[in-house]
Structures are given as structure tokens and as C-alpha cells.
């Protein structure tokens, strides 16, 4: 019997694709690691112990068939691995790049617990579908038989795009409305290229467009149509608008020039890398070149800002976070990447005031300490009376997270129910909002979350919308089509 290619985790060490040297990667916005070469991918996939109850899949929001596509990869059956991997995910190569695997699949891999180091699931997942694109195995979307019904999707982020793909597959006419000039949501304008190169997103969008999905770009619901008007055009609507209201800092001087919002800063950088004209980048307002930069926050957005500032040629980059390293929300892997690239973390510190009358010149901060656990179980930070800090700053980036905008008001739809956090209220079973035929998915329902959860929601909501529309297929359709 031929040697089984699996269960090699004892003698074969864990090996992620090599990262480029920190100094080199800080000079551009390319991803920091190349993808595996074929033998390395096969060899790393072969470390999997093929668990009967695969905790990796249990903790993957998409419940991907991880052990099965790892085996197919280890056996060199890459095209089959690709087909299986794509059967549960509309964007596996994107999740392979940007999921916080240390908290999801890899963090729950049994060989991680046995001290051997998790199977490098995300890197293999990225390798499989990148190879499929390179080899021409990625098929067009299989469009279902025309059902004579149409769907309007508001928001072209991962939730909206995933739902669009499934709904087109079911045979609906699909229209995607987005206020931006490019599709992809935060995949395109939030997440920097060094985590997710933009051609990886754009080829997914192109594939959807080739399947006949109609993209209405620069179309803002609330400005170009009310929700009610859009509802009249389609048999059902999906709201997948994400969360965009930046959490504020309340401190003297926060209004000074040079104190900016994280998403404005990251969007300007991403646009510049697309080759767009970005006056606020060119005039220096949203450009870190030569500046002392202070980023406030400890999540993924803050990590993306500090690492963007390094690539723009900042004189120094500090990250202020009110808890310690062990209690930060951002991925430890991203902190390590940022430190390698030259970012200084000032743990247990929170801004108290911003110096400078017109233009910010510095940040005054309090030292913090961790007190008793709060309602969420995390130890709450409190001011440490013994400490104060002062640091120079020409650019301060506020990265404290995001909340939902006031959608009922923005959409001219006061009947749209929201939770006390401002997220859309949906029926847990059907994912429908308080408006008949209007569904919702992604961050606008969950609050700021992850791409993989947005894709999962897109998959689920498409199935619910399909059930709902099928039941109404023969009823007289009041909707008028464009
Ligand atoms: P979004 O991606 O926000 O897309 C919503 C879309 O709706 C946007 O295109 C927007 O233009 C459009 N829209 C909004 N309002 C309107 C309107 N009125 N009319 C028309 N269109 C509208 N997650 C990870 O898993 N890994 C990461 O590494 C990661 N890094 C992140 C880095 C940053 C800087 C940020 C901000 C988030 C990050 N996330 C990450 C979170 C992730 O990006 C989101 O959870 C995910 O994109 C949510 O998907 P969505 O489709 O719900 O919304
Ligand atoms: Fe892991 Fe994310 Fe891929 Fe699931 S989608 S297997 S959590 S990288
Ligand atoms: Fe393989 Fe780890 Fe998943 Fe087990 S938990 S099936 S070892 S990847």
C-alpha cells in the first residue's frame, strides 16, 4: 500500500509561506508573503491528522470541508480540492488571506493544542484557489433558469456580493447598488493591499458582472432613491450596507487639523494605489510621509493604519491602546507584523488631549491600568493616577471602531426596525427586517465583524430570500422593473 500522505505533523514542522523581509515589504503595498510553491502546499496539507470531528471546520464560520480539501491537496488533486473548497465559499482565496485564522480554524486545530503547531489552513486555502485562477479552472457562475423575479441588493461588500452570486445561481435578476465607484466594500477601500491585493477582489467582481449581475455604482440609497422606491423596483431587497459611523474621541483639541478618521485615511491610501486622483493625499492631509504619526485604537483597523503609515514613509509611528497586548481585539499576528515593520506600541495608554491650536503638534495621554472585569468579561481599563505621557504628532488617526449609521433616517424608511445598538433588527429564522420583503445581512446586522461572517450571512440570506420569493412567484407582482 502506498504511503498515506497525511498525519505527518510529528516529523514535519509547521511552515507558513516565507514573509518578505520587513524592510522590503515596508516599501510597497504588496502582500507580505508569496503563496506556497506546489511541494510546500502539499507537504503542509499532509500534516493534517484527518480528525473525525474536525474542530477546524466547526470553528470556521462557513464550515468549510477543511480536512477533505487538505487531503486532496496533499494527494496532488488540486482541481478537486478547488471544487470542494469553492462549494462552501464564494471567496476562499480572500478568506485564506484575511481571516484571523489564529482565532478561527487554525486556533482550534487539534495539533495546535498538542504543541505541534496548527496546520496552515488559511495559506493552503489561498494557494488552492489562486492556483485555480492561474490554471483557468475557475468557472463562470452557473446562472439558474430565469425565474422572472428580481432582487435589489444595497451594498457591494462581501455580504452583498456573496448573496448576489447565490441569488444569480438560483435564477434571479440581480441588481447591486453601491455608493462607491468600485465594488467590494471594505475589501476594496478599507483593507490595505499588503493584506489583500486589489486584483484578487476585482477578478471576483468581474466574474459576477460577467454572470449578468447588474452593478449600479455611485448609487447612494437615501440620495438617489429611497428604500421604498427601490422596494417598488424589485421583488425583494437585501440591505448589506456595513457600518461606517466612526466612534468619536472626546478630548480637547480633537477637532484640530491633522486629527483624522481611520477610514478616510485608509480609503485615500487605497484610492491612491488604484491610481485615482486623491487631493487630500497629495496636499498631505491624509498622507503620513515624513510625519510623526499616532494611531489611537487596538483593533484590525488600527493595525492597518499603523502599517499603512510605515509604507507611506512616516518619520515615526506609535499605536496607543488603553489595554495591554494580551487584551487587545486585533490579531496578534498583525501586531507582530507591525512591530517587525517598525511600529511602536504604547500599551495601557489613552489620549487625554491633542496639542496645537490649528494643526495638531502632539498627544498628551494618561497611563492606564486594568481593573475588574466589565460586563463583557474583559478587564476594564482605568486611569493610572501615577502616569502621564506626552509625544509629538503631526498626524493622529482615530481608529476606535465603527457603529451603524441611522439607516431608517438615511433611507427615508422610519418603519425599518433597529436594535438599541442601531444595527438592523432581523427575524432570526428568516433574516427579514421589519419591512416585508426587505432582508439584511453582514455588519449592518452583526455590528463590525469579519469578512468570513459577511460571506456566511450572504450565503444564508440568499437561501432565505429564495424561499420567500419562490412562495410568491405566482402571486401578482406589484413591482415594476427597470
Ligand atoms: P462592507 O464591506 O462595509 O460593505 C458595505 C457596502 O455598502 C459598501 O461598499 C458601502 O459603500 C455600501 N453602502 C453603504 N451605505 C450605502 C448606501 N446608503 N447606498 C449604497 N451603498 C451603500 N475582516 C476580516 O475578516 N479580516 C480583516 O483583516 C479585516 N480587516 C479590516 C480592516 C478594516 C480597516 C476594516 C474597517 C474592517 C476590517 N475587517 C476585516 C472587517 C470586514 O471588512 C467587515 O466585517 C466586512 O467587510 C463586512 O462586510 P459587509 O458586506 O457587511 O459590509
Ligand atoms: Fe479558516 Fe477563514 Fe478559511 Fe474558514 S474561511 S477555513 S476560518 S481561513
Ligand atoms: Fe486537520 Fe487540524 Fe482540522 Fe484536525 S483540526 S482535521 S488536524 S486541520
What lines the ligand 1 site, CB under 6 Å? Answer: 98-99, 154-160, 177-180, 185-186, 190-191, 195, 220-222, 240-242, 266, 300-301, 304, 410, 442-443, 449-452, 454
Domain ranges of the chain: 22-135, 150-243+404-471, 247-398
Q: Whose CA is nearest to atom 7 of ligand 2?
A: 60
Minimum-distance ligand to the CA of 73?
A: 3
Q: What is the pLDDT of residues 150-205, one digit of tens each?
A: 999 999 999 999 999 999 999 999 999 999 999 999 999 999 999 999 999 999 99
Evaluate if residue 46 carries a pLDDT over 60. yes
Q: How far is the CA of 129 from the centre of ligand 3 (A)?
A: 20
Which ranges in 89-195 belong to alpha helices (H)?
A: 92-98, 110-113, 121-135, 158-170, 186-189
- Return the CATH architecture of domain 150-243+404-471: 3-Layer(bba) Sandwich (3.50)
- Stated as kind and residue range, the H or E segment containing 386 is strand 379-392
Question: What letter does residue 377 receive in the DSSP assignment?
Answer: S
Residues 6 or more apart whose Cβ sits within 8 Å of residue 96: 122, 123, 124, 125, 126, 127, 128, 129
Q: Note whether 293 and 397 are within 8 A (CB).
A: yes
Q: Ligand 2, from 56, 104, 107: best to mutate by most atoms within 8 Å of Cβ?
A: 104
pLDDT given for residue 1 in this prediction = 45
Asked whether the beta carbons of 382 and 358 are under 8 A apart, the reply is: no
Helix (H) or strand (E) holding 150: strand 150-154
Helix (H) or strand (E) holding 40: helix 38-45
Ligand 3 neighbourhood includes 67 CB (under 6 angstroms): yes
Interval between CA 411 and ligand 1 midpoint (Å): 18
**11 CA to middle of ligand 3, Å?**
16
Q: How many residues does the chain have?
A: 482
48-91 pLDDT, tens digit each:
999 999 999 999 999 999 999 999 999 999 999 999 999 999 99
Instruction: Judge whether 22-135 and 150-243+404-471 match in fold.
Output: no
Euclidean distance between CA atoms 6 and 26, whole angstroms: 37
Helix 38-45, helix 121-135: angle, nearest 10: 140
Q: What is the mean pLDDT of residues 346-353?
A: 96
CATH of domain 247-398: 3.50.50.60
End-to-end CA separation in angstroms for the chain: 63
Q: Over the stretch 198-246, which tens digit does the pLDDT of each residue have?
A: 999 999 999 999 999 999 999 999 999 999 999 999 999 999 999 999 9
Looking at the CA of 46, which ligand is closest? 3
Q: What ligand has the least distance to the C-alpha of 117?
A: 3
Residue 297: band (very low, low, confident or very high) from pLDDT cuts 50, 70, 90: very high
ipTM of this predicted complex?
Answer: 0.99
CATH no. of 22-135: 1.10.1060.10
pLDDT for 359 equals 96
Return all residues near 77 (Cβ < 8 A) that are at least 6 apart.
none
Measure 465 CA to ligand 1 centroid, in angstroms.
21
For the residues 279-298, what does the mean pLDDT come to?
98
Amino acid at each position: 500500500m502506498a504511503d498515506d500522505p497525511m498525519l505527518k505533523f510529528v516529523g514535519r514542522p509547521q511552515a507558513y509561506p516565507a514573509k518578505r523581509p520587513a524592510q522590503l515589504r515596508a516599501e510597497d503595498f504588496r502582500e507580505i508573503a508569496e503563496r506556497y510553491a506546489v511541494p510546500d502546499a502539499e507537504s503542509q496539507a499532509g500534516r493534517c491528522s484527518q480528525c473525525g470531528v474536525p474542530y477546524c471546520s466547526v470553528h470556521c464560520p462557513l464550515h468549510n470541508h477543511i480536512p477533505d480539501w487538505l487531503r486532496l491537496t496533499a494527494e496532488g488533486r488540486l482541481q478537486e480540492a478547488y471544487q470542494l473548497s469553492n462549494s462552501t465559499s464564494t471567496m476562499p482565496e480572500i478568506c485564506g488571506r484575511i481571516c484571523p485564522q489564529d482565532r478561527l480554524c487554525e486556533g482550534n486545530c487539534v495539533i495546535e493544542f498538542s504543541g505541534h503547531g496548527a496546520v496552515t489552513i488559511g495559506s493552503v486555502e489561498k494557494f488552492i484557489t489562486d492556483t485555480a485562477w492561474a490554471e483557468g479552472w475557475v468557472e463562470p457562475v452557473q446562472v439558474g433558469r430565469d425565474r422572472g423575479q428580481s432582487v435589489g441588493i444595497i451594498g457591494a461588500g462581501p455580504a452583498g456580493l456573496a448573496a448576489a452570486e447565490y441569488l444569480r445561481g438560483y435564477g434571479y435578476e440581480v441588481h447591486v447598488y453601491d455608493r462607491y465607484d468600485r465594488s467590494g466594500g471594505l475589501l476594496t477601500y478599507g483593507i490595505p493591499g499588503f493584506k489583500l491585493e486589489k486584483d484578487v477582489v476585482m477578478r471576483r467582481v468581474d466574474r459576477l458582472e460577467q454572470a449578468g449581475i447588474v452593478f449600479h455604482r455611485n448609487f447612494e440609497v437615501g440620495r438617489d432613491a429611497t428604500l421604498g422606491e427601490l422596494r417598488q423596483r424589485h421583488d425583494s431587497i437585501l440591505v448589506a450596507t456595513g457600518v461606517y459611523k466612526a466612534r468619536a474621541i472626546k478630548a480637547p483639541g480633537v477637532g484640530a487639523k491633522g486629527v483624522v478618521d481611520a477610514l478616510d485615511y485608509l480609503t485615500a491610501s487605497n484610492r491612491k494605489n488604484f491610481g485615482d486622483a486623491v487631493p487630500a493625499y497629495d496636499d498631505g492631509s491624509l498622507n503620513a510621509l515624513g510625519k510623526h504619526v499616532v494611531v489611537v485604537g487596538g483593533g484590525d483597523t488600527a493595525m492597518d493604519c499603523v502599517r499603512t503609515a510605515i509604507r507611506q514613509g512616516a518619520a515615526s509611528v506609535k499605536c496607543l491602546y488603553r489595554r495591554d497586548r494580551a487584551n487587545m481585539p486585533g490579531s496578534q499576528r498583525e501586531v507582530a507584523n507591525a512591530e517587525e515593520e517598525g511600529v511602536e506600541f504604547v500599551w495601557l495608554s489613552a489620549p487625554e488631549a491633542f496639542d496645537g491650536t490649528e494643526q495638531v503638534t502632539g498627544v498628551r495621554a494618561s497611563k492606564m491600568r486594568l481593573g475588574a472585569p466589565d460586563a463583557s468579561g474583559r478587564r476594564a481599563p482605568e486611569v493610572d493616577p501615577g502616569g502621564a505621557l506626552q509625544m509629538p504628532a503631526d498626524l493622529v488617526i482615530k481608529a476606535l471602531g465603527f457603529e451603524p449609521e441611522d439607516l431608517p433616517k438615511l433611507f427615508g424608511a422610519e418603519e425599518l426596525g433597529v436594535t438599541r445598538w442601531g444595527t438592523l433588527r432581523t427575524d432570526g429564522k428568516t433574516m427579514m427586517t421589519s419591512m416585508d420583503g426587505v432582508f439584511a445581512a453582514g455588519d449592518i446586522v452583526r455590528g463590525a465583524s469579519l469578512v468570513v461572517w459577511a460571506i456566511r450571512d450572504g450565503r444564508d440570506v440568499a437561501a432565505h430570500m429564495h424561499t420567500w420569493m419562490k412562495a410568491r412567484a405566482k402571486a401578482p407582482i406589484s413591482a415594476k422593473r427597470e
